[in-house]
Amino acid sequence: MDVKKLFSLEGRRGFITGGAQGIGECLANAFSELGADVAIVDVNQDKAKAAAEKIAGKTKGKVIAYGCDVTSPESVDKMLAAYISDFGRLDYAINNAGICAMDGALEITPKTFESVIDVNLNGVFYTARAAAKQMVAQGGGGSIISTASMSAHIINQPQTIAAYCASKAGVVSLTKGLAVELSKYHIRVNCVSPGYIQTELVASLKDMLGIWLGKMPEGSRLGFPEDLIGAYVFLASDASAWATGSDVVVDGGLYNPLKTAETKKGRPCGRPFAFTVKP
C-alpha cells in the first residue's frame, strides 16, 4: 500500500465555508500547502479575498474567494455554480462557518436564537446538501466534513450558550443522518468536534481562558487552529475511506468521560444534586 498516497490531498478540489479567518483560514492554508485547490467561502467577501490572495501568494496554489451567506440556499446555489465554473468538480466540502451568542436562555431573543441555529445548523445543511447534489451529479463520491464542537458533547461553563450547544449537537446528528443517506453514492459525511481554539470566535471571552484551562486535564492546554489540521486532512483524504458518520473529537482531553466517572466516584452518594421536595 502507498501510504503517502493514502493521506494525499494533491489535486483534490473543494470549498471551505467560514474560510476567511480562524479555523477555516488555517485549513485553507493547510489544504493548499498539501496540493489541494481551495475555494474560500465566507459572508465577509473582502476578508475571504484577502485570505485567498495571501494563501495563494505563499503556496502558489489555486485559491479563490467567494462571498456567500450560508443561511441562504439561493446564495449557496449561486456560490456553487460559480465554484463549478472555476474548478470543474467538487471532491471535498468543509462546512465550517459558525457563530456564537452568549445571551442566557432567559434573555436571548427569538431572533438571536434563530440566527445561531440558522448559521450553525441550517447553513451546514444547505452547503452539505448543495455539495452532495454536485457529487451525485458528477459521480465518484466525495467527502463532506462539518465543523461541530465540544459543545455538542458538553455544556460549556461559565458562558451561557444553550443555543450554540443545541446547534452543534444538531450538526453531529445531521452528519450521521446524511452519512447513512449518501453512502450509496460513495459520499462520506463526517464531522470534527474541536475543543477551545483561540480564534476571534472566543476573543470576547478572553477573561474565561483561565477557567477553561482549569477544566483541562493536567498537562494539556487550550488549542490553536493548527491543532485541527490532521483531523480534516484525514477526513478529506483516502486515509478515511472507511470512515463515515464519524465525529472526530479534537479537544486536548476536555471532554473526557473517564474524568467524569472519576469525579462521580469521589462523591458521597450516587446523586450529584439534592432537590428540595416541598411537603
Ligand X SMILES: NC(=O)c1ccc[n+]([C@@H]2O[C@H](COP(=O)([O-])OP(=O)(O)OC[C@H]3O[C@@H](n4cnc5c(N)ncnc54)[C@H](O)[C@@H]3O)[C@@H](O)[C@H]2O)c1
Among 75, 168, 196, 246, the active-site one is: 168
Of 2-10, 67-75, 80-88, 263-271, the window that binds ligand X (rule: CB under 6 A) is 67-75
At which residue does the C-alpha cell 501568494 appear? 57
Active site residue 164: yes
Query: Rounded to an integer, what distance in angstroms lies between the CA atom of residue 163 and that of residue 191?
Result: 19
| Residue 199 sits in the site that holds ligand X (CB under 6 A) | yes
88 conformational bin, left if phi > 0, alpha if psi -120 to 50, beta if neither: left
Among 32, 75, 146, 149, the active-site one is: 149
| Residue 218 sits in the site that holds ligand X (CB under 6 A) | no
Q: What is the per-residue binding string for ligand X in 13-52, x denoting contact by CB under 6 A?
A: ----xx-xxxxx-----------------xxx--------
HSE of 243, CA atoms in CB hemisphere, 13 A: 19
Note whether 228 and 24 are within 8 A (CB): no
Of 78-86, 144-152, 176-184, 238-246, the window that binds ligand X (rule: CB under 6 A) is 144-152
Angle value at C-alpha 250, between 91 and 236, nearest 5 degrees: 10
Q: What is the per-residue binding string for ligand X in 91-110, x denoting contact by CB under 6 A?
A: -----xxxx-----------
Q: What's the closest the beta carbon of residue 79 comes to ligand X, in angstroms?
A: 9
* CA 144 to each of CA 58, 90, 127, 160: distance values in angstroms, whole numbers, following the listed order: 26, 10, 9, 30
Instruction: Assign 262 to helix, strand or coil.
Output: helix
| Residue 175 sits in the site that holds ligand X (CB under 6 A) | no
Q: Rg of the Cα trace of the chain?
A: 20
Active site residue 206: no
**DSSP codes joined into one string, 40-58:** EEES-HHHHHHHHHHHHHH
Instruction: Identify the CA nearest to 32 among candidates 1, 4, 55.
Output: 55
| Residue 76 sits in the site that holds ligand X (CB under 6 A) | no
Number of neighbouring beta carbons within 10 Å of residue 188 = 25
Q: What is the per-residue binding string for ligand X in 113-132, x denoting contact by CB under 6 A?
A: ------x---x---------
Among 66, 83, 164, 232, the active-site one is: 164
Closer CB to ligand X, residue 136 or residue 166? 166
CA torsion through residues 61, 65, 71, 75, sign: negative
Q: What's the closest the beta carbon of residue 232 comes to ligand X, in angstroms?
A: 11
Active site residue 193: no
Q: Which of 29, 59, 71, 122 binds ligand X (CB under 6 A)?
A: 71
| Residue 200 sits in the site that holds ligand X (CB under 6 A) | yes
Closer CB to ligand X, residue 37 or residue 42? 42
- Catalytic residues, by residue number, are 149, 164, 168
Q: Catalog residues that contact ligand X under the rule CB under 6 A.
A: 17-18, 20-24, 42-44, 68-71, 96-99, 119, 123, 147, 149-150, 194, 196-197, 199-202
